[in-house]
Amino acid sequence: MPARKFTLSLVFLGLVLLSGFVFAQSDKDKKPKLTAPTAPEPVARTPYSDVRREALLNGLQVISLERKDELKVTCRLVIRGGAMFDLVGKTGLAMLTAESLLAVNPQLVQELETLDATIKWGVTSDTTWFQLESPGGNLDQVLAILGRLLVVESVRKDAFEVAQKARVEKLKAAQVSPANKADEAFFTTLYGDHPYGHNIEGDATTIAAIKHGDVLDFYKRVYLANNMFAVVRGNLRHDRVMTLFRMFYGGWIKGVPAPPTFRPPFRTLEARVQKVEQADLTNVEVRGGVIGVSHTDADFIATRLLALVLENRLKKLEPNASVIFAPRMLVAPLYFTTAISADKAVEFSRKATDLFATLDKAEISEVELATAQSFLLREHEARAIVEYLEEIATFKLSETYPLTYESKVKAVSTIDLQRVAKRLLEANALTVLVLGKVSEGTKSQSE
């Protein structure tokens, strides 16, 4: 009897364990089966897929684009500071600062030529730039030569004096073209004492007024590692590019870049015509426009399209007329320009002024918009990648800016153009400048 009870107990225990296993297996079957994660879809390649961006510890950003089929490497160093930071009464300070830095080595060009390399440099209202072109194998020596001037030697007084003397002599000997005279007079009238109102090179008087301390101060305020970037393109790996920049530019000091916190340009409430008499000219230079928007403004692309619509309309009056609206850090001018014979200047100026001043009221057709969009997209397709890379870094745009550019251009409507025209014309009345034999013609317009 006890044996039978023991046997039954074993059978009962077996049934309990079996039922537990069955229930456990049933619960297991109810749980979702684990599967391997879905592989992410490959990211579509773009012309910018090979672009590499990296910054040194001092904040200097290096942007590289390796191109194995190119014989030389192009390196462009850009400082986000140009003629807008010139001191009052010392126009040309940014230009003279760059020249003083390079004047430390009078044999700079010859040294680079022995390395099969070249240098170009320039100053705009917004930036100062230095561009080197060199075989990849010589880039270390080329970067070392320029780095010594920009980072190590800094601004020497003897080099400043040499650069200042050369700049004054060059300006005294220069023959300013009528077109440049008209541009300078127009910007001065349009912007007043705003930094965009003066020219970039200065004149003999303003350059002579600049002291060594002014140049040294400009260098310390603007030439900061975290206020500049480099774009490198050619047959050189990114890690090699970074090694060279760490070696020759890693010691460049960083700081707090001077912000462009200037007073906004004076608002023009009434249309104005400014004349500059130069009776010996056959043609009359005509400029006219308003202050537009900055590159980072939401209406930048719409303003570019508006400029093209305006240009196409103006060309019906005068085939040589053009409308200019270029990207700027601050509010850029939107203006028309032409050189026209004196006998036609009065009529063109009147019609162009009327056309511009009524732009917000004159209906813009879909055909006009489509023509402008087509032109802008062709320009976009033709632009070199490095040009976009510099534009992105200069104005601190999104890295996807060129990839979304087409869709943004196509998204602009005729209603947008009318709105932007109204916005710009309400902000400022039209400013017109004529230079040449214009005494009688200008008088008749302004009376």
pLDDT score of 20: 52
User: The domain 272-446: what is its CATH number?
Assistant: 3.30.830.10
264 pLDDT more than 90 = no
- Rounded CA-CA distance 128/22 in Å is 79
pLDDT score of 196: 95
Q: Find, among 307, 299, 302, 382, the residue nearest to 337 by Cα.
A: 307
| Rg of the chain, C-alpha, whole Å | 32
In DSSP terms, 62 is beta-bridged to: 54, 230
Q: What is the pTM of this model?
A: 0.86
51-249 matches 272-446 in fold: yes
Q: Where are the domains of the chain?
A: 51-249, 272-446
Q: What is the mean pLDDT of residues 324-340?
A: 96
pLDDT score of 100: 97
pLDDT tens for each residue of 187-240: 999 999 899 999 999 999 999 999 999 999 999 999 999 999 999 999 999 999
pLDDT score of 22: 44
- The residues, ordered by sequence, that sit 6+ positions from 137 with a Cβ below 8 Å of its Cβ are none
15 pLDDT more than 50 = no
pLDDT tens for each residue of 337-361: 999 998 898 899 899 999 988 888 8
In DSSP terms, 76 is beta-bridged to: 131, 231
pLDDT tens for each residue of 289-323: 999 999 999 999 999 999 999 999 999 999 999 99
7 pLDDT more than 80 = no
pLDDT tens for each residue of 28-69: 555 555 565 666 666 688 889 999 999 999 999 999 999 999
pLDDT score of 360: 87
* E-strand stretches of 182-332: 228-234, 272-277, 283-291, 322-324
Of how many residues is the chain composed?
A: 447
Stretch among 5-9, 171-175, 350-354, 395-399 having the lowest mean pLDDT: 5-9
Write down the mean pLDDT value for the chain.
89
- Rounded CA-CA distance 214/86 in Å is 9
pLDDT score of 132: 98
User: The domain 51-249: what is its CATH number?
Assistant: 3.30.830.10
Exposed (0-12), middle (13-18) or buried (19+): which is 23, by Cβ within 10 Å?
exposed
- Rounded CA-CA distance 354/351 in Å is 5
* E-strand stretches of 95-209: 118-123, 128-135
